[in-house]
Amino acid sequence: MAKKQSNAKPTLILIGIVLVIILSMFFAQPVLAWVSDNKGILIASLIAIVVVTVALFIWWRIEQRKKQNKAFYGLVDGIKAFKYTPTFREERPYQSMLYGYLKGKGFDVQYEAQSGASRPDLVVEGIAIEVKGPTDSMALQTLSHKVMKYSNHYHFLIVVLFDCICSKYTLDETMMGLAKMVKGKYKMEVVVKRAE
């Protein structure tokens, strides 16, 4: 059986419109007279409202950044504390292992969350995590491209390199290049992990 449609909403809207018209007829002239007599006060009040609104927005953004920084470094510390024993031949088990560890620590982790054309391995509270493992020279070459793409969608990035099998020189050179690439754009931390 179909429900009968109520006409209460359109009736209330119509009553509201009529009340606004009636009230504006009584109050429009005194309000306009006050505005013309007090233009300076009105302009000063509007400027004050804009300044206070901008100040509150800036304060809010600063507080948001503080929160994000705290979450970022807490996540970095959590990943640094993560211990594992097996070594794998491909990347997926490293991702799954880190995902399970972070979930177990109470983080809200998304697995391969899509943002535009970017899809970091893990995302925690707006922080992208790119996992490489075992990390060889080829994995490091693809890293710079991914970091560049992620900068369009994330202000924070953690790169986790499991079981580096490339030379220390190659790793250091790649990390210096990445640091130059992201400098001033967003925060990036690189965590190198080895099986224990």
- In this prediction, residue 4 has a pLDDT band, given cuts at 50, 70 and 90, of very low
Structural domain spans, the chain: 10-62, 82-193
Q: What is the pLDDT of residues 147-174, one digit of tens each?
A: 888 888 888 999 999 988 888 899 899 9
DSSP string, 112-154: S--BTTB--SEEETTEEEEEESSB-HHHHHHHHHHHHHHTTT-
Q: What is the DSSP letter of 166?
A: S
- Helix/strand/coil for 57: helix
Q: Does domain 82-193 have CATH number 3.40.50.300?
A: no
pTM: 0.70
Residue 7: its pLDDT value, please? 57
Q: How far is CA 4 from the centre of its chain?
A: 45
- Residues 5-48 pLDDT 10s: 455 667 888 888 888 888 777 777 777 777 778 887 878 888 88
Asked if the model's pLDDT at residue 58 lies above 90, the reply is: yes
In sequence order, what are the residues at sequence separation of 6 or more whose Cβ sits closer than 8 angstroms to the Cβ of residue 161? Answer: 132, 133, 135, 139, 171, 190, 191, 192, 193
